[in-house]
Chain A
């Protein structure tokens, strides 16, 4: 049984979700440690037993949650963990050099450890400023591109391999959709305080504009101005999204590809992020809007089309292929 260390540092949900999606399936045959500093990690850890994880998976899968600390201290902690080399394969999500550049000093010491980059889209300005491509070409054995195809900076590197998007749940694991008389709008609310306030106000406007529609807000905390009885705190979120006729959210990786897999129309507000190009992703995979009014008009238009309450479409999940690709990295050595 090999040990995988997944580097999934980053605020928000994306890195943590992607790492757990990979880790929970890999943990049937491997020890998987996920290194995270997500503010949601402690709560997610308590939710792990409530989804369909078998006892052996739970035993093999662990979250190594970094305490809140200064940038220098976090760098130091990550370097100590990575340099310990008590794992067989290092899998780095999104940030090849580490989110704080801290892997740069470690990698020359890790020549015997296979290194895999999970290559989600990343801002080319950052790639240019830090010469990230050169570093990736030199140190990474494999780049796995989960779902975004050729539209990412290192897609044409010789070690790049593409898979379908990575999803937390396979189609067979999704609960059945309960037929409803009223259509359902699900707002996926995440982000900073300002963004949460925006989602709360949007919920209020949706309630006014669509009194005959069921509105729900999927969020870790109830946004300001959102009636608490409409707030759903559930992880993973795919079963909730699966109940929706229309989803409104940001254009982060998970929201976009979960909606795509489930066949749900996604109305997206592209939030500015330092590394993630939500605008870029949203243009390709969602209906991008800029104002609440345009979002409401788009919802109106979507709700005028006949409802489709069939069982979920049978979507693919790139996790299985990714595990096979990663396994070959150290088995060939």
Chain B
């Protein structure tokens, strides 16, 4: 199983999107994170912040699922955990870093598309520890863009969008984007900010809160590409939609 972690370095503003083979260690010190785990090479990701422990957390595969095992305070989708299973789209908070976790599907197809990026991808597949990722990761957005069929070096929007399931925008143009109003809105202008009032304790997923069941059942919210149906709230359905679908219901001046 191959996974992708996506985050923005709060210090430099750089975006990282490595694709990795678990186990993956997260921490402040490269040398103090384990190089191997259960006889497997560990990819080590350096997250440089005082509130991140030298060896903070480990992502590993257990019975086909990816688990986060944390040595210190970590959160999954806003819930503090010592360990928990990760599902596609989950947000992992480690210190000031928010990493979006995704499972990379159709690896074979993607490998065919990213022939140019093979050397870097190979580095990330676990046989070789991801030494000094922070130093090489500046190249990764371009590689990811290529993997998605885009030209290398293309701009990729790193705005956080969506409602309950926040996600990275990842568009390559702001033109026609409903979230940033063609690039006119500032990064901190959330189009759903008024909607949060409608949902008490928005963002809290503990029992008794509005978001509890949504979080508990999050694995079931699968987007059916054929029917384009997601039995969920509007903004979250948008998290699963194709780009053309999101153009609807975004303009009150339409007729």
**Chain A interface residues (CB < 8 Å from chain B):** 9-12, 14-15, 37, 39, 70-76, 79, 97-102, 104-105, 126, 128-131, 134, 252, 273-276
Asked if B254 contacts A10 (CB within 8 A), the reply is yes
| CB atoms of B194 and A72 under 8 A apart | yes
Hey, which chain A residues are within 8 Å of B193, CB to CB? 72
Q: How far, in angstroms, from A79 to B245 measured CA to CA in the complex?
A: 22
Write out the residue numbers on chain A whose beta carbons fall within 8 Å of the beta carbon of B252.
Answer: 9-11, 37, 71, 74, 99-100
Q: Is B31 interfacial (CB 8 A cutoff)?
A: no
Cβ of B255 and Cβ of A273 under 8 Å apart? Answer: yes
**Most central of A10, A76, A134, A274 by chain B CB within 10 Å:** A274
Per-residue CB contact flags for chain B residues 227-255 toward chain A (1 = under 8 Å, else 0) read 11100011000000100110111111111
Q: Is residue B202 within 8 Å, beta carbon to beta carbon, of the partner chain?
A: no
* Cβ-defined partner of A275 (8 Å) among B194, B233, B234, B255: B255
* Interface size, B (range): 20 to 34
CB distance from B141 to the nearest CB of A (A): 29
A101 vs B248: C-alpha distance in the bound complex, in angstroms? Answer: 9
Q: Can you list 17 A-B pairs, Cβ within 8 angstroms, ordered by A? A: A10-B254, A14-B255, A15-B255, A37-B253, A39-B253, A71-B178, A73-B194, A75-B195, A79-B198, A99-B251, A99-B252, A100-B250, A101-B234, A126-B248, A273-B254, A274-B247, A274-B255
Residues of B at the A interface (CB closer than 8 Å) are 178, 191-195, 197-198, 227-229, 233-234, 241, 244-245, 247-255
In chain A, what residue has the closest Cβ to B185? A70
In the bound complex, do residue A130 and residue B248 qualify as a contact, i.e. CB atoms below 8 Å apart? Answer: yes
Q: How far is the CB of B221 from chain A (nearest CB, A)?
A: 15
A158 to chain B, nearest CB (A): 22
Contact at A130–B245, with CB atoms within 8 Å? yes
Are A129 and B234 in touch, CB under 8 angstroms? no
A212 to chain B: closest CB distance in Å? Answer: 36
Given A10-B255, A129-B244, A131-B228: A70 touches B234 (CB 8 Å cut-off): no
Q: Which of B194, B229, B252, B255 has the most CB of A within 10 A?
A: B255
Docked-complex contact A76 and B194, CB < 8 angstroms: yes
Considering the chains assembled together, what is the distance between the CA atoms of A10 and B254 in angstroms? Answer: 6
Q: B231 — nearest CB in chain A belongs to which residue?
A: A131
